[in-house]
Amino acid sequence: MKIKLMIHAGVIIVIFFLMISCSRKQTVIPLTELDLSKMEQGYGRPHIDLSVTNNPLSIAGKTFATGVGTHASSRIDIDLGRKPARFTAFTGIDDAALNRRGSVNFVISGDDKTLWESGTMSPGDAAKHVDIELNKVKILSLIVRDAGDGIDYDHADWAEASFTTTEKIKATGPREVITEPKIILTPKPGIQPRINGAKIFGVRPGSAFLFTIPATGEKPLKYEVLNLPEGLVCNAATGQITGVIKEPGDYLATFRVTNKSGSAERQFKIVCGSELALTPHMGWNSWYVWENHVTDSIMRKAAAAMVSSGMIDHGYMYVNIDDCWSIKQTSKDSSLLGEPRDKNGMINSNKRFPDMKSMTDYIHSLGLKAGIYTSPGPRTCAGHVAAYQFEENDIQRFVEWGFDFLKYDWCTYNRIAMNDSLSELQKPYILISEILKKQNRDIVLNLCQYGLGDVWKWGKSVGGNSWRTAGDLGGSFEGIGTALFRDGFDVFTDNELQKYGGPGGWNDPDYLLIGYLSNWEGGTAPSPLTPNEQYTQISLWCLQAAPLIFSGDITRLDDFTLSLLTNDEVIEVDQDPLGKPGSRIIKNGDLEIWMKKMEDGSSAIGLFNRGNKEIKMNVNWSDLGISGKQKVRDLWRQKDLGTYKEKFSSRVARHGVEMIRVWPAK
Ligand code: GLA
């Protein structure tokens, strides 16, 4: 009897639950109703019912009233809780990018397994419909990848995108919020003089020479150079070396810096020939903090801050304006309007830059160099007047204005290029570097075309002194962390970029995105990188021999940010005269060991932990091709750790790094 009653009760309970679950209604949840702030993307922000550039959603002439406009590389993760659901959408490139060079691949993955792919889609391709049943998927990812030609014009629409499910679903950020203390490892410079920065410098015969000896130590410092080549002088109070060398050749000089506590000496090689940028560029660029509101006064303050912060004493040299200094004819802001060029076709700056020559004179007077930006197309990426068909004039103008560095983009040249062939990709850079070579001024050339056509294979041969290897690292503020790991680690390794960088031509994975950055909404915000990720960026860039161009607010440097930018032993890895980029030697899941060979026979080694938990990492000398006892020095802490026979171990923080340098022990 008792058992019978229990069975009855059980059956009733089961029926009750079945009824509840059957009665749960299927609802349609549009993608636009999820928290789109969790969507990461390579440019701009996700827009509801509009394209990334704020136009009505439209794919191949068909308009869609609802959906999300995004931009490659884009990703949003949605927690489906392993419950059944259905996802439907129309995918395609928005017509705002019609006749442009965009191409993308929409990918839907469930718990990291690909469930659906659109294949390469180009502007004008009819929307592809996706309709998939999802079962037992915990995290569904909607991804838009660039289809191999960079992210330019990759305006991607998830039109009429929605889920049908009985459950509650929510977007989860690919990145959780992590709070870590900002621990300063870099010791403060001592009072004794120390000479820092590059040990080699290239100049062309007959060009104006400017190099400021970077040195720390209690001020005042007295600067001298022994064996200075004929034509140059050194200012004893500022350390600025100026003049002109007429005769090509290698000149070995000795820097000597003295103060009341002592003196330091170091050899310095001046190579007077055809090559510039014998070590990776070090400096500051306006883009990621001031973007389209950069002015003359901002640039002057940045230059002054490079001196007052002491960055100049560690080798930082270039103060570079990015986009937005020329006229923008479509602007509503009168300070950007005016005649694009004078009657001789010479380009004009906008009213925010009333006197370029006096600005560069000021930058030079501080012992620094000045950089400018333009694009080979008719317009820059931000829609300002650019160089197309005025290349000779514009370079002549930059020479008159006194610039020392040119960042040459790709934007809007895709309207001009006839096709995707290598020769079309190379044409504007060959043209500009031929013009630069004719000038009686040394201008370092940075190619900013996002890695198109494997630029690393030919960037140097077309005259580039560095070339961007990927899209904008900071294209989306929230996405900087993801981009750091993708562009910083994987683009480099996948393409074996160590084979291509070297003296005169460097791989450029974009700027150092630490300190205060633009939040792209008119204000600034602290870098979204965690403190350990910031150590990772600087360490990785130095191991790769990448340019060290800081693009946060240089007038607002907190102690932590300054300590990251000014560790001389870490910078030495970047600036090593051998100029051999390091590479990944070992990968074990999330753990990577990178190594860079140094001129003195030592090796710089980075132990990187890409995983989410602190972990103990081991490195065996034999795996690195090193044998015998090694003297190990911790570079961030600038501390000897002792002698290690066969291997070295260290705990490495989540997304963090331990950076050491090893020398064969006597
Ligand atoms: C491109 C470049 C950026 C910056 C902007 C300016 O996106 O990659 O570094 O120069 O243009 O508009």
Average pLDDT of the residues in 635-643: 98
Strand, coil or helix: 356: helix
Which residue did the predictor score with more confidence, 209 or 76? 209
Question: 305 vs 211, 310, 356, 363, 564, CA distance in Å?
Answer: 18, 8, 19, 11, 16
With pLDDT > 90 as the criterion, what percentage of the chain qualifies?
A: 85
Average pLDDT of the residues in 10-39: 74
Give me the CATH topology for the region 23-171.
Answer: Jelly Rolls (2.60.120)
Extract the tokens encoding 333. 């802001």
Dist. CA 67–CA 53, nearest whole Å: 14
DSSP string, 170-184: EEE-SS---------
Average pLDDT of the residues in 568-591: 98
Which residue did the predictor score with more confidence, 9 or 107? 107
Q: What is the dihedral angle through the alpha carbons of 288, 290, 291, 296, rounded to the nearest 10 degrees?
A: -130
Please say whether the beta carbons of 557 and 563 come within 8 A. no
Q: Does residue 324 line the site of ligand 1, with CB under 6 A?
A: no
CATH 2.60.40.1180 fits 584-664, yes or no: yes
Average pLDDT of the residues in 600-625: 96
Residue of 87, 65, 66 whose CA lies nearest to 78: 87
- If you measure from the C-alpha of residue 586 to the centroid of ligand 1, how many angstroms do you get, rounded to a whole number? 33
The per-residue pLDDT for range 115-124, each reduced to its tens digit, is 999 999 999 9
User: Which residue has the least CA distance to atom 3 on ligand 1?
Assistant: 472
Q: Does residue 382 line the site of ligand 1, with CB under 6 A?
A: yes
Q: Does residue 409 line the site of ligand 1, with CB under 6 A?
A: yes
State the pTM of this model: 0.80
State the pLDDT at residue 146: 83
Please say whether the beta carbons of 660 and 598 come within 8 A. no
Q: Does residue 322 line the site of ligand 1, with CB under 6 A?
A: yes
Secondary structure letter of residue 352 according to DSSP? T
**CATH superfamily assigned to domain 194-272:** Immunoglobulins (2.60.40.10)
Nearest-atom number in ligand 1 for the CA of 381 is 12
The per-residue pLDDT for range 351-388, each reduced to its tens digit, is 999 999 999 999 999 999 999 999 999 999 999 999 99
Average pLDDT of the residues in 588-612: 97
* pLDDT above 80: residue 570: yes
What is the best residue among 323, 326, 407, 412 to mutate for testing ligand 1's pocket, by most ligand atoms within 8 Å of CB? 323
Which residue did the predictor score with more confidence, 109 or 593? 593
State the pLDDT at residue 9: 64
Q: What is the dihedral angle through the alpha carbons of 373, 377, 382, 385, rounded to the nearest 10 degrees?
A: 80
Average pLDDT of the residues in 320-328: 98
User: pLDDT band for position 167 (50/70/90)?
Assistant: confident
- Is 23-171's fold the same as 194-272's? no
The mean-pLDDT minimum among 344-358, 392-406, 514-528 falls in 514-528
* pLDDT above 90: residue 73: no
User: pLDDT band for position 150 (50/70/90)?
Assistant: confident
State the pLDDT at residue 494: 97
Question: 502 vs 178, 461, 507, 546, 585, CA distance in Å?
Answer: 36, 12, 8, 10, 19
Give me the CATH topology for the region 282-574.
Answer: TIM Barrel (3.20.20)
In 505-575 the beta strands, taken as DSSP E runs, fall at 506-508, 516-518, 524-526, 548-550
Domain ranges of the chain: 23-171, 194-272, 282-574, 584-664
User: pLDDT band for position 175 (50/70/90)?
Assistant: low
The per-residue pLDDT for range 295-322, each reduced to its tens digit, is 999 999 999 999 999 999 999 999 999 9
Average pLDDT of the residues in 25-36: 92
- If you measure from the C-alpha of residue 381 to the centroid of ligand 1, how many angstroms do you get, rounded to a whole number? 6
- If you measure from the C-alpha of residue 320 to the centroid of ligand 1, how many angstroms do you get, rounded to a whole number? 13
Residue of 268, 227, 233, 270 whose CA lies nearest to 248: 270
Dist. CA 465–CA 278, nearest whole Å: 9
The mean-pLDDT minimum among 134-148, 385-399, 633-647 falls in 134-148
Q: Does residue 472 line the site of ligand 1, with CB under 6 A?
A: yes
With pLDDT > 70 as the criterion, what percentage of the chain qualifies?
A: 96
Give Cα 596 distance to the centre of its chain: 20
Nearest-atom number in ligand 1 for the CA of 382 is 12
Dist. CA 154–CA 100, nearest whole Å: 9
Q: Does residue 152 line the site of ligand 1, with CB under 6 A?
A: no
Q: Does residue 508 line the site of ligand 1, with CB under 6 A?
A: no
The mean-pLDDT minimum among 138-142, 212-216, 571-575, 580-584 falls in 138-142
Q: Does residue 380 line the site of ligand 1, with CB under 6 A?
A: yes
Average pLDDT of the residues in 192-218: 98
Q: What is the mean pLDDT of the chain?
A: 94
Q: What is the dihedral angle through the alpha carbons of 644, 544, 153, 379, rounded to the nearest 10 degrees?
A: 150
Which active-site residues does the annotation give?
Answer: 409, 472
The per-residue pLDDT for range 469-480, each reduced to its tens digit, is 999 999 888 889
Please say whether the beta carbons of 84 and 165 come within 8 A. yes
SS (H, E, C) 600-621: CCCEEEEEEECCCCCEEEEEEH
Please say whether the beta carbons of 216 and 638 come within 8 A. no
The per-residue pLDDT for range 401-448, each reduced to its tens digit, is 999 999 999 999 999 999 999 999 999 999 999 999 999 999 999 999
- If you measure from the C-alpha of residue 323 to the centroid of ligand 1, how many angstroms do you get, rounded to a whole number? 7
**The one-letter amino acid at 101:** R
* pLDDT above 70: residue 16: no
